[in-house]
Amino acid sequence: MPESTELIAPNRFRDPYDFEYIIDLQGKIFKSCRELNLSRISFIEPYSMLSLLLMGRNYLRKSGNKLKLTNIPVTIHQYLRRMDFFKAGAFDTADTLSERLLLKRSSFSRRVLEITEISNKERESVEAIENIVGVFRKRAEHILKRWLSDNITDYFVTVISEICQNIYEHSLDSGYCAMQTYSIGRENIVRLSIGDSGIGIKRSFENSGAIAYDSPAHLIDLALTTPISSKREFGYGLCQVNAIVKKLNGIIFIRSGNASVSTLYHRKKAGPSFLFLKNDLTDFNGTQISISLMG
């Protein structure tokens, strides 16, 4: 009998750490999978959604075919449609939703930023970033309802602008941005996710011989904590973003290539034990970032 070309995705879309299980399946997906069965998925958050989208785009580029998503639970399908997941054209799906089941762009709209593509061309990218920032400012009082202060909206505008700008300046590819406020049990979360499938942080620093680092994760950590840049003598992008996340007592997670760094500033005694560096992960093209506030 021929080997099945369908893979049933495990229910691992709850946060960036959980999604590592899906990335670990990438080799199998790229080698023999034609259909990804989502029947077991009960929840998907912005980082996992964007990373799945990047995986689908990588699959299309590698194979020339679109990966087919099958047996999508109605609630998951509603969410993906509402967040403009399918507009990127990276997947095929036989599943359809009737008009009466589509989530309306009403009160829910105020708590999200739909998926927006960030081009690798400066002019188009700047326009996309301006649009994202404009929509965010209009919805900030709802997205950040539990955290709203005089400065927090401006802080997030800076974060969005800096990270999205890195896509066209460093990745040599396009990427995506999305944001949402949601609740899990008694925990309220606002999560901004931005990712690309470009060359990654390590390769972008290949010609910066003056920067010494012990591992890919150490290099990511340096980019977060030191004003270094692969393009300019002094770079404050990720360093400034990290400073803002620390000020907001948030969480920042960055994955690039086969390494990741996460810092948990929401812990009362944030210190070395709340900084996690991981190397030798399954390689995943580009750089993916998750910034969260929890309360």
* Contact indicator for 225, 241 with CB cutoff of 8 Å: no
131 and 259 co-located in one domain: yes
Do 88 and 136 lie in a common domain? no
Nearest to 259, CA basis, from 290, 292, 227, 287: 287
Selection from 141, 85, 152, 146 nearest residue 110 by Cα: 141
The pLDDT value recorded for residue 37 is 97
- Both 157 and 21 in one domain: the answer is no
Residues 36 and 129 in one domain: no
Q: Are residues 43 and 96 in the same domain?
A: yes
- Is 1 a member of any domain? no
- Could you read off the pLDDT tens digit of each residue along the chain, which spans 295 residues? 345 699 999 999 999 999 999 999 999 999 999 999 999 999 999 999 999 999 999 999 999 999 999 999 999 999 999 999 999 999 999 777 766 666 665 545 689 999 999 999 989 999 999 999 999 999 999 999 999 888 999 999 999 999 999 898 888 899 999 999 999 888 999 999 999 999 999 998 886 666 788 999 999 999 998 876 545 443 458 999 999 999 999 999 999 999 999 999 987 565 555 889 999 999 999 999 999 999 8
**136 shares a domain with 32:** no
Q: Which of 101, 133, 167 is the last residue of a domain?
A: 101
- Whether residue 51 lies inside any domain: the answer is yes
Are residue 55 and residue 146 in the same domain, yes or no?
A: no
Asked which of 101, 126, 156 is the last residue of a domain, the reply is 101
CATH code of the domain in which 157 resides: 3.30.565.10
Residue 14: inside a domain, yes or no? Answer: yes
Question: What's the total number of domains in the chain?
Answer: 2
Q: What is the pLDDT of residue 189?
A: 96
**Residue 113 carries which DSSP code?**
E
Please tell me whether residues 94 and 207 are part of one structural domain.
Answer: no
| pLDDT at residue 209 in the model | 64
The answer to whether residues 49 and 288 touch, using CB atoms and an 8 Å cutoff, is no
Angle between helices 237-247 and 216-225 (to 10 degrees): 70
**What pLDDT score was predicted for residue 234?**
38
Give how far Cα 232 sits from Cα of 170, 172, 204, 208, 261, Å.
11, 16, 12, 10, 23
Is residue 207 classed as helix, strand or coil in its secondary structure?
A: coil
Q: Does one domain contain both 161 and 31? A: no
In this structure, the answer to whether residues 181 and 265 fall within a common structural domain is yes
Asked if 49 and 80 count as a contact pair (C-beta separation under 8 A), the reply is: yes
Is residue 53 in a domain?
yes
Is residue 64 located within the same domain as residue 171? no
Residue 82: domain span: 6-101
Report the CATH number at residue 21.
3.30.750
From 101, 122, 149, give the residue that closes a domain: 101
90 and 152, same domain (yes or no): no
